[in-house]
Amino acid sequence: MASPFPGMDPYLEGSDYWPGFHHALAEEIRGRLNARIGPKYYAEVNVLTVFEDSCGDNSPKWALSRQHELATCGL
């Protein structure tokens, strides 16, 4: 059965169903980005954990920064 949501798959996007998938996908994207963006920039994957009272999204985040500089924000 096709996904009822064009352009997305809620089963893959739900981290409860695929606990290792999101990190593996982020690492694959990082590797492919680094192969294409050249020596001036690099991509890396960081896990951000935030403790708060309400439920939130604690999935892996990524940012693009200049080489040898600390990324100050993530997506």
Integer Cα distance of 72 and 4 in angstroms: 37
Domain assignment of residue 8, yes or no: no
Domain assignment of residue 21, yes or no: yes
Domain assignment of residue 75, yes or no: no
36 or 69: which leads in pLDDT: 36
Q: Is the pTM of this model over 0.95?
A: no
pLDDT at 72 over 70: no
Domain assignment of residue 37, yes or no: yes
Domain assignment of residue 46, yes or no: yes
Domain count, the chain: 1
Integer Cα distance of 4 and 58 in angstroms: 25
- pLDDT value of residue 47: 78
pLDDT in tens, 22-60: 788 889 999 999 999 988 888 998 877 766 665 556 665
Domain assignment of residue 53, yes or no: yes
Integer Cα distance of 75 and 55 in angstroms: 18
Task: Write down how long the chain is.
Answer: 75
Integer Cα distance of 54 and 45 in angstroms: 25
Domain assignment of residue 6, yes or no: no
